[in-house]
């Protein structure tokens, strides 16, 4: 039973446009949410996080939005660049550790 769900396996956007990756969760005890980026043949790398006391966190081109009532979070990338093409994983944790991951969304940014 997946507690973290990414319902879109893939997303394709044009360079310079916005990429929006979505994530839903079922466990109301989750209080930390993270996004990871993964290139082929590499481990996932941490991108951005948000705690449940916030509804938005921004880091350069990356912004994560959290809607606790809907148990939904999203990652916005503006503007998208070809180097952003990767698989993005959403993850959630009910305490400081022990994360659960979604299935991932493959983002392709076309030049």
Partner 1 sequence: DVKVTQSSRYLVKRTGEKVFLECVQDMDHENMFWYRQDPGLGLRLIYFSYDVKMKEKGDIPEGYSVSREKKERFSLILESASTNQTSMYLCASSLDEQFLNYGYTFGSGTRLTVV
Contact residues for partner 1 (CB under 8 A)? 2, 4, 6, 9, 32, 34, 36, 41-46, 49, 51, 89, 91, 93, 96-104
- Per-residue tokens: 47: 């991108």
Spatial distance between the Cα atoms of 3 and 79, rounded to a whole number of angstroms: 30
Output 38 or 79, the one with its CB closest to partner 1.
38
- Per-residue tokens: 57: 């966190």
Q: How far is the CB of 23 from partner 1 (least distance, A)?
A: 11
- Per-residue tokens: 9: 């396996």
Output 30 or 89, the one with its CB closest to partner 1.
89
Report the candidate in 23, 26, 11 with the shortest Cα–Cα distance to residue 49.
23
Output 20 or 99, the one with its CB closest to partner 1.
99
Gyration radius from the chain CA atoms: 13
Q: How far is the CB of 49 from partner 1 (least distance, A)?
A: 5
Q: How far is the CB of 102 from partner 1 (least distance, A)?
A: 5
């Amino acid at each position: 039973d997946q507690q973290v769900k990414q319902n879109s396996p893939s997303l394709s956007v044009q360079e310079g446009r916005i990429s929006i990756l979505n994530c839903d969760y079922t466990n109301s005890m989750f209080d930390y949410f993270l996004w990871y980026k993964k290139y082929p043949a590499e481990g996932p790398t941490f991108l951005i996080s948000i705690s449940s006391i916030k509804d938005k966190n921004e880091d350069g081109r990356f912004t994560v939005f959290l809607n606790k009532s809907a148990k939904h979070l999203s990652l916005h990338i503006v503007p998208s660049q070809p180097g952003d093409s990767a698989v993005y994983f959403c993850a959630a944790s009910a305490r400081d550790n022990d994360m659960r991951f979604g299935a991932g969304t493959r983002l392709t940014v076309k030049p």
